[in-house]
Amino acid sequence: MQIEKPLVSSRITVRNYQKSDLPYLTAMWFDKENGKYMSDPTAEYVDSDFQKALDSLEDSPNGYYLTVVLNSSDEIIGSACIFPDEKKEIFDIGYCVHKGYWGKRFGSELLALIVTFIRNNGGIEITAEVAQDNIASNRLLANNGFKIKKKSQFKKYKMNICFNSYVYTFSCANQT
């Protein structure tokens, strides 16, 4: 899926993922610190099925794969994904900001753009699953109006690492 036009704030632009973004993004996702709480594996656990999925992100019919760049330089600083349900009412999201940009409020800026995009496209509810130990991401969601809906668990792909998690929800109808 492709967004019709980039999502732009004062410091960042969220645009459709391009194949040329893959080396930077996989380096970020597979990094042991940056990708610690993601379901993506570290590089040594990437198998042919996972690589095939990576190679087809641009053409995914199931969701939007997006790249976050700085407005000032077009430098990649993160990624996001948005997965609508069949009715395009409930959207599940994911995001990752490069560790070199942590603590600079880029996550809040990115989240605001995602929420606005979903709201403008008929979304009623947004969900996001976050490892309980990921203090920064839990704080980001809570500070931006997301509420814990339930406890869950997820596992890193092909790795024996499992995280207790929270599934957060955000009601587009009740927020301004």
Which domains are delineated in the chain? 7-171 (3.40.630.30)
pLDDT for 12 equals 98
- Which pLDDT tens digit goes with each residue over 84-112? 999 999 999 999 999 999 999 999 999 99
Instruction: Give start and end residues of each alpha helix (H) in 5-134.
Output: 22-30, 48-55, 106-120
176, pLDDT greater than 50: no
4, pLDDT greater than 90: yes
Distance CA 104, CA 106 (A): 6
Distance CA 88, CA 129 (A): 18
pLDDT for 101 equals 96
Q: Provide φ and ψ at 86, rounded to 5°.
A: -60, -35
175, pLDDT greater than 70: no
Decide: 113 and 96 in contact? Cβ < 8 Å: no
Burial bucket for residue 143 (CB in 10 Å: 0-12, 13-18, 19+) = exposed
Confidence grade of residue 174 (pLDDT, cut at 50, 70, 90) = low
Instruction: State the average pLDDT over residues 12-32.
Output: 96
29, pLDDT greater than 50: yes
- Please state, rounded to an integer, the average pLDDT across all residues of the chain: 95
- Which pLDDT tens digit goes with each residue over 115-172? 999 999 999 999 999 999 999 999 999 999 999 999 999 999 999 999 999 999 999 9
Distance CA 151, CA 166 (A): 5
- Which pLDDT tens digit goes with each residue over 42-85? 999 999 999 999 999 998 899 999 999 999 999 999 999 999 99
